[in-house]
Chain A
Amino acid sequence: MKCILVSIAMASSYLLVMFLGAVTAVEVLRPRGVPLSKRQFYEENRPFTCLDGSGTIAFDRVNDDYCDCKDGSDEPGTAACPNGSFHCTNAGFRPGFIPSSRINDGICDCCDTTDEYNSGATCQNTCRELGRKEKESLQMLAEVAKEGFLLKQQLIHEAKRGLDEKQVVTELQLSKRASEDAVEALRLVKEAAEKPEKEAKDRHLKAWEEQQAVIRAEKDNTKMAEAFLRLDVDADGLVSAVELQAHTELDPDADGMFTEEEAQGVLGGVETVDTAAFETIWSSIKEKYLSEVTVWPASDHDSEQYPDEEVPEEYEDEDPDDEDDEDQDEEDDKVGRPPPLSLLFSSFFFNPLPKVKPSGLYSQWLTRSVLMGLEKEISLDFGPSFEFAYLYGQCYDLTTSEYIYRLCPFNRVSQKPKFGGSETNLGSWGSWSGSEENVYSQKKYDHGTGCWQGPNRSTTVKLTCGKETVVMSVSEPSRCEYLMEFTTPAVCQEPPSLDANHDHTEL
């Protein structure tokens, strides 16, 4: 049975994908819209089986502008299937998929213009430009991250020193001797604290593991991208066999003669690969690949281990004699793993107690105050390495055309009219509220001043890595729900560069 011709001019259902490298040209024939990784399913002149196995059709029904497969897989290059997707190669930038409904809709979606082959839309190929921009911005981000991360280490270091200097223990001992009442109160606090402590511990462990997994994946991706950039000597967006030959460590038989054929073999039998294809071969070469400049530290993985040691339990070991040791332990524990919960008593350490010897009533009062402070602080979570502690007690302002916004981390957010008028509470410190992968990327302040017929005001603060601690912007996407963007070194991730090694040795 033969279909009559569709009245719209259908372009060929094939796409001759041309990779025009500087040295060689490779032609990969595959139906339009099919990613390289799936080309083996689309073999010309063989019946095509829908990728979900729901049916088999003649190959000339692939990309014939009629949807035959329930999963849309027979029309990767047309808009015929409501659930299909189209692969843009985007040479020079990242490859990607778009919903097939965006094929020939007159709007340029793929930077390589391949989605608009029959709509009359005039699209410019912007992939190189996008690639360049992305690279630049990644570099810039990396630089910020690098410097930010150094700052973060300092913050962590300072936090640690703060602990050393303040000799909290002495004060605590004093206070304990001061009153039986206080001890009793402490015991109560301890009991109250145990539960959240356990929960906090579990949460930290989970968050930590997830975070490490993400970081590992990111690192690997970055390594891969970096490797690609380094290998791609002529910067044409393609790694060629010739370029690969310079890396003799990748010689499969390690005979000292890394031939072009061997190099092609490594590339999966082709002359050149783009980023997408490189992705597929990366896993086979990454162990061998040596960057000229980067030596990945052997200790890299060590830092990702969650420490097995128990979280210090200073409250349980209330016995004053133990406290010195414990304090000592803390210092050792602090770096490169989640926060020992003792560190949650931060402000206590940062706000030294009066150096008078308390006696009698004063002592009782003091103890109570300390306990109240502790009780408050016990709920504060200053981050895996205590890196957010420096924000405590600080405030950061942003002035807009109408208002002055003030963020006092771990305390509250407020808004004050620029030209007089009373202050409005936009929320008090609630909790970290980032995604499961990174709970410290966002925090929530809630229970602010109520809105008539609306909710109480609340503010979400999004934290991004920056060298400086600044409120970048404030908006009110929904009435009485504010969104604040805040940069701080404390969220900077360890940049995957040669500095990694250095950081580790320093710590």
Chain B
Amino acid sequence: MLSGLYRSFVSASWKKMMAPVVMLWLALCLSGTLAVDRGNFKTCDQSAFCKRQRALQPGQSPYRALLDTMELTHTKLTLQLINDNNKVRLLLELYRLQGNMTRVKINELKPLKPRYEVPDVLVQQPLTEPLSLLSQDENGVVLSLGGEAQRVILSARPFRLDIMEGHELLMSLNSRGLLAFEHLRTRKDTSQSDSEAEKPQGTDPADQAEQPKADDKVEEEKDEEGMWEETFKSHTDTKPNGPSAVSLDFSLPGVEHVYGIPEHAETLKLKTTDGGDPYRLYNLDVFQYELFNPMALYGAVPVMLAHNAQRTTGIFWLNAAETWVDISSNTAGKTVFGKMLDYVQGSNETPQTDVRWISESGIIDVFIMLGPTPYDVFSQYASLTGTQAFPPLAGLAYHQCRWNYNDQEDVQAVDAGFDQHDIPYDFIWLDIEHTDGKRYFTWDPHKFATPKDMLQGLLEKKRKMVAIVDPHIKIDSEYKIHTEIRSQGFYIKNKDGGDYEGWCWPGNAGYPDFTKPEMRAWWASMFAYDQYEGSMENLYTWNDMNEPSVFNGPEVTMHKDAVHGPWEHRDVHNLYGFYVQAATAEGLIQRSGGVERPFVLTRAFFAGSQRYGAVWTGDNAAEWDHLKISIPMCLSLSLVGISLCGADVGGFFKTPNSELLVRWYQTGAYQPFFRAHAHLDTPRREPWLFGPDNTALIREAVRQRYALLPYWYQLFYHAHRTGHPVMRPLWVEYPQDAATFAMDDQFLLGRDLLVHPVTEEGARGVTAYLPGKGEVWFDVHTFQKHNGAQDLYIPVTMSSIPVFQRGGSIIPRKLRVRRSSACMEHDPYTLFVALSQRRKAEGELYLDDGHTFNFDTKGEFIHRKLSFSNNILSSSNLAPAAHLSTMSWIERILILGASKPSKVTLKTAGGQDSQLEFEFDASMSVLTIRKPGMNVGEDWSVVLK
């Protein structure tokens, strides 16, 4: 949907909104630009703790490990660190976790009051493995991390951790000495301000970088500007707890490529931040965001992956406060030529990337995932925060959204339009205007007077609806949701103890405290059919504005000194959206008695949000660059566990021309969450409004999506089971091929499909990189075979969607595309067997009922392994314990890269052998086996002779 300020205007103009919001709009409008108003958002310099921390100079760490405080139990090592400047002691905890991970926690030994530790994100207390002491002297200790000759070297002075494997240094912590831990302190009263007075005014904090002192002298700590109060654009952040920032640096020797830390409108490969702002992680409702910069967006996953040809590692910085990430590299400034020169001249400088994390509050709690492969890192991270929720099949189909479908007749007309133009769709969406005055869980009494009739109409077509439910609650004593939240004390409080109020769509609104388990339970109960009037089983939910967006708040979000029970909003900010989606998903599960899988889309997210549903990239724009950036934005999310990602097809703001719209459909059809969406002020853009040719192009793109749903579904099942991403950067599959490391104009779906969408205006051709020496790739449309490890120029027309199937794979499709995915449930499959150079292929086929948890709770599914070798294609059971009866059968088998057989025989368990008819296309070497007819649940083999 959209950013606050502007939408508030729209709301205002139509709904007589309140003056302050209109004023905000005016301010915005006068700025007169369509791009983000950067002035609304802080730079590092404008964020006091970031400025303070960034001013620290490397190589001057005051921290020393007190080795005599070391305790080693079989699960962890604890040790005190002391800051020699102020003598404040910290407690270091070091754990070896199962699955090749190391966890480092640092907190104050004796904080004045507890510091926030992020709950609910880890799926369980991580399982530990024993650590053992290898050696110890006065300079430090060496611990064994178990297998693989992995060791941690803990140096005492200054404190530093180095993680080694054999002779290889994998990662160092505090190697640059930028560990910083602002201890909690009591505010000095005015009488103590003498020391301040001595200080010259306007001292650059950099000058105050503390010098190592003699052991016993405790330096008088000075208050710096912004430690106890900070003002940004007329918003004052009272900081009753004073400074509380934490920071740590990581060095990654041998690494030139780092990824992740979404959400940013940025390339897949992260850039160095020297000379600019760090990447910021602070969930914000950013109006018309700009591309290719480190500004914060709607969600935050504090996970970074580092990769080189030998190893992939990851850093998970578990902190929900505002966070900034600096990246620098010793090779960043070098050209390829410069690097070659280094090589030729034998320069022994190893490439290295240095990363530094800075958070405003909380503790340091970092998980170091040691790979070594990309898939190991995915599994390691999944073991901590869980895997992708397995969406209902329909969630992977096409979604039609607009702000707004005006009324029930409009919904009906759009629904009929899809049938009339023979374009499939599964979900139609309702944005905020469907409610009664932006009171969520209600319906506009005139426009949506009989929602159940509307939903029933969709149900009869086997289609579904999503209605928006945002977390800001209209303050209205007649509104049940509000009165209940207020009476139960569930609202977030302001610093003075009253209910926090802010402006959002409904005008004055309260914000429920989703960090409270009782609040989440109550919220979930509101989705019960008897609570949410007009809802039915085919109504699902969309959580927008859950950063949270507060139109009149600092940076369009909540004041950091708002209060969530014992914690400040400052501590929990990036978690808010995570909790909103979690509670909503729980509601959808509960309303069906735990049977049905939920589908919930969220705009704000955090680490672990993958467990609750889908994420989209927010309010993008109808521009070619926005289309292009949808690829790296979703790839970055995929790398950190969130597979169900999509961008608004067509672009939210502005109006796409038909070429851009068609290209966006073609791209979106091959991205996980496939939803068209449009801003209220844009002309209608349902797929049939651009002339018959464009309608046909869009129809074809959507049909390709539907035909491929079996593969998508199987990939999501796999993602759910393993945490492996669905949409993958090429380097994940070709980790040693440096040509792929920065590639983000193409991607893989699973292992087997390579997609290079056309994202250039007026394109006549694209150059796709087909990876893999010795591999072959088949154009999925023409079946033309191409060799791997080459740049392939592909001439394109408006109908082209360059997609290639990897030789060696088997992909199931359902070619009988119908009007919704549910209509295709019993349809037969066509298997696309693409042979490798060695004439082998493998694949899988997964199916279940498509919408319940029975696959999990009752083992009701079919999971087959399909393999081709020695001229025999066979299907074997990957899950013998599971059971499901299906009517689906195999109607056709295409073998790409085949030679002509003389005979094709089908063998089924217990059945007689039978001869199958086939056709052979010699020009493309495609063998088509006609109607083998076996049920997909059976064991069978097809023998070519």
Question: Which A residues form the contact surface with B (CB < 8 A)?
Answer: 1-8, 64-66, 79-80, 82, 99, 101-102, 105-107, 119, 401, 451-455, 475-481
Chain A residues with CB under 8 A of B9 = 452
Contact A82 B817 (CB under 8 A): yes
Known: A4-B914, A452-B29. A105 touches B931 (CB 8 A): no
Which A-chain residue is minimally distant from B917 (CB atoms)?
A1
In the complex, which of the residues A8, A66, A401, A479 contacts B930, with contact meaning CB atoms closer than 8 Å? A66
Known: A7-B934, A453-B681, A478-B683. A106 touches B816 (CB 8 A): no
Interface assignment of B733: CB less than 8 Å from any CB of chain A: no
Render B815-833 as a binary contact track against A, CB cut-off 8 A, 1 for contact.
Answer: 1111100111011000000
Interface assignment of B239: CB less than 8 Å from any CB of chain A: no
B side interface size, CB within 8 A: 45
Which B-chain residue is minimally distant from A119 (CB atoms)?
B826
Of residues B409, B462, B827, which shows the largest number of chain A Cβ atoms within 10 Å of its Cβ? B827
In the complex, which of the residues A7, A119, A476 contacts B935, with contact meaning CB atoms closer than 8 Å? A7
Known: A1-B917, A475-B406. A481 touches B683 (CB 8 A): yes
B window 399-438: CB within 8 A of A: 406-407, 409-410, 422
In the complex, which of the residues B409, B680, B682, B823 contacts A106, with contact meaning CB atoms closer than 8 Å? B823
Chain B residues with CB under 8 A of A79 = 816, 818, 827
Would you mind naming 20 contact pairs between A and B with Cβ atoms under 8 Å apart?
A1-B917, A4-B906, A6-B933, A7-B933, A8-B887, A64-B931, A79-B827, A101-B816, A101-B817, A101-B818, A105-B824, A106-B823, A107-B460, A119-B826, A451-B681, A452-B9, A454-B682, A478-B684, A479-B680, A479-B682
Q: 11 more A-B contacts (CB under 8 A) besides A79-B827, A478-B683?
A: A4-B906, A5-B933, A65-B931, A79-B816, A82-B816, A101-B817, A107-B460, A107-B819, A479-B679, A479-B681, A479-B682
Contact A477 B891 (CB under 8 A): no
Contact B934 A80 (CB under 8 A): no
Interface assignment of B858: CB less than 8 Å from any CB of chain A: no
Contact B891 A66 (CB under 8 A): yes
Which A-chain residue is minimally distant from B15 (CB atoms)?
A402
Interface assignment of B51: CB less than 8 Å from any CB of chain A: no
Interface assignment of B446: CB less than 8 Å from any CB of chain A: yes
In the complex, which of the residues B682, B892, B931 contacts A6, with contact meaning CB atoms closer than 8 Å? B931
Render B906-925 as a binary contact track against A, CB cut-off 8 A, 1 for contact.
Answer: 10000100111100000000
How long is the Cα–Cα vector from A311 to B298 in the complex, in angstroms?
A: 66
Which B-chain residue is minimally distant from A66 (CB atoms)?
B931
In the complex, which of the residues A4, A107, A453 contacts B933, with contact meaning CB atoms closer than 8 Å? A4
How long is the Cα–Cα vector from A451 to B679 in the complex, in angstroms?
A: 13
Chain B residues with CB under 8 A of A8 = 826, 887, 889
Contact B681 A4 (CB under 8 A): no
How long is the Cα–Cα vector from A101 to B683 in the complex, in angstroms?
A: 31
Interface assignment of B932: CB less than 8 Å from any CB of chain A: yes
Interface assignment of B461: CB less than 8 Å from any CB of chain A: yes
In the complex, which of the residues B462, B682, B915, B932 contacts A107, with contact meaning CB atoms closer than 8 Å? B462
Of residues B9, B818, B935, which shows the largest number of chain A Cβ atoms within 10 Å of its Cβ? B818
Contact A4 B684 (CB under 8 A): no
Which B-chain residue is minimally distant from A104 (CB atoms)?
B826
Chain A residues with CB under 8 A of B818 = 79, 101-102, 105
Contact A452 B681 (CB under 8 A): yes
Contact A4 B680 (CB under 8 A): no
| Distance to closest chain A CB from B609 (angstroms) | 31
How long is the Cα–Cα vector from A107 to B458 in the complex, in angstroms?
A: 11
Chain A residues with CB under 8 A of B931 = 3, 6, 64-66
Known: A2-B915, A106-B823, A401-B446. A480 touches B681 (CB 8 A): yes
Chain A residues with CB under 8 A of B682 = 454, 478-479
How long is the Cα–Cα vector from A459 to B409 in the complex, in angstroms?
A: 19
Render B673-689 as a binary contact track against A, CB cut-off 8 A, 1 for contact.
Answer: 00000011111100000
Chain A residues with CB under 8 A of B916 = 1, 3
Chain A residues with CB under 8 A of B819 = 101-102, 105, 107
How long is the Cα–Cα vector from A452 to B10 in the complex, in angstroms?
A: 9
Of residues B406, B409, B681, B891, which shows the largest number of chain A Cβ atoms within 10 Å of its Cβ? B681
Of residues A82, A119, A476, which shows the largest number of chain B Cβ atoms within 10 Å of its Cβ? A82
Which A-chain residue is minimally distant from B407 (CB atoms)?
A475
In the complex, which of the residues B422, B911, B914 contacts A99, with contact meaning CB atoms closer than 8 Å? B422
| Distance to closest chain B CB from A386 (angstroms) | 34
How long is the Cα–Cα vector from A476 to B817 in the complex, in angstroms?
A: 33
How long is the Cα–Cα vector from A3 to B822 in the complex, in angstroms?
A: 28
How long is the Cα–Cα vector from A35 to B684 in the complex, in angstroms?
A: 38
How long is the Cα–Cα vector from A127 to B674 in the complex, in angstroms?
A: 38
Chain A residues with CB under 8 A of B460 = 107
How long is the Cα–Cα vector from A66 to B683 in the complex, in angstroms?
A: 42
| Distance to closest chain A CB from B708 (angstroms) | 14
How long is the Cα–Cα vector from A65 to B682 in the complex, in angstroms?
A: 44
Chain B residues with CB under 8 A of A453 = 34, 681
| Distance to closest chain B CB from A70 (angstroms) | 13
Known: A82-B817, A454-B682, A478-B683. A3 touches B823 (CB 8 A): no
How long is the Cα–Cα vector from A99 to B906 in the complex, in angstroms?
A: 32
| Distance to closest chain B CB from A284 (angstroms) | 34
Which B-chain residue is minimally distant from A105 (CB atoms)?
B823
Contact A477 B684 (CB under 8 A): yes
| Distance to closest chain A CB from B146 (angstroms) | 51
How long is the Cα–Cα vector from A164 to B135 in the complex, in angstroms?
A: 118
Contact B461 A107 (CB under 8 A): yes
Contact B406 A7 (CB under 8 A): no
| Distance to closest chain B CB from A57 (angstroms) | 11
B window 440-498: CB within 8 A of A: 446, 460-462
Which B-chain residue is minimally distant from A453 (CB atoms)?
B681
Chain B residues with CB under 8 A of A65 = 891, 931
Chain A residues with CB under 8 A of B409 = 475
How long is the Cα–Cα vector from A477 to B683 in the complex, in angstroms?
A: 9
How long is the Cα–Cα vector from A477 to B827 in the complex, in angstroms?
A: 36
Contact B815 A2 (CB under 8 A): no
Render B164-204 as a binary contact track against A, CB cut-off 8 A, 1 for contact.
Answer: 00000000000000000000000000000000000000000
Chain B residues with CB under 8 A of A475 = 406-407, 409-410
How long is the Cα–Cα vector from A66 to B827 in the complex, in angstroms?
A: 12
| Distance to closest chain A CB from B638 (angstroms) | 31
* 9 closest Cβ pairs, A-B complex: A454-B681, A105-B823, A478-B684, A66-B931, A7-B935, A479-B681, A101-B818, A6-B933, A4-B914
Chain B residues with CB under 8 A of A479 = 679-683
| Distance to closest chain B CB from A104 (angstroms) | 8
How long is the Cα–Cα vector from A475 to B410 in the complex, in angstroms?
A: 10
| Distance to closest chain B CB from A208 (angstroms) | 27
| Distance to closest chain A CB from B364 (angstroms) | 45
Contact A481 B933 (CB under 8 A): no
Chain B residues with CB under 8 A of A64 = 931
How long is the Cα–Cα vector from A338 to B422 in the complex, in angstroms?
A: 39
Contact A7 B816 (CB under 8 A): no
Contact B932 A4 (CB under 8 A): yes
| Distance to closest chain B CB from A225 (angstroms) | 24
Of residues A5, A7, A102, which shows the largest number of chain B Cβ atoms within 10 Å of its Cβ? A7
How long is the Cα–Cα vector from A477 to B685 in the complex, in angstroms?
A: 11
Chain B residues with CB under 8 A of A119 = 826
Contact A481 B816 (CB under 8 A): no
How long is the Cα–Cα vector from A3 to B931 in the complex, in angstroms?
A: 7
| Distance to closest chain B CB from A251 (angstroms) | 45
How long is the Cα–Cα vector from A401 to B444 in the complex, in angstroms?
A: 12
Chain B residues with CB under 8 A of A106 = 462, 822-823
How long is the Cα–Cα vector from A266 to B214 in the complex, in angstroms?
A: 119
Chain B residues with CB under 8 A of A481 = 683-684
In the complex, which of the residues B407, B461, B684, B917 contacts A3, with contact meaning CB atoms closer than 8 Å? B917
Which A-chain residue is minimally distant from B825 (CB atoms)?
A106
Which A-chain residue is minimally distant from B818 (CB atoms)?
A101
Chain A residues with CB under 8 A of B824 = 105
| Distance to closest chain B CB from A451 (angstroms) | 6
How long is the Cα–Cα vector from A33 to B73 in the complex, in angstroms?
A: 77
How long is the Cα–Cα vector from A251 to B40 in the complex, in angstroms?
A: 88
Known: A3-B917, A480-B681. A80 touches B816 (CB 8 A): yes
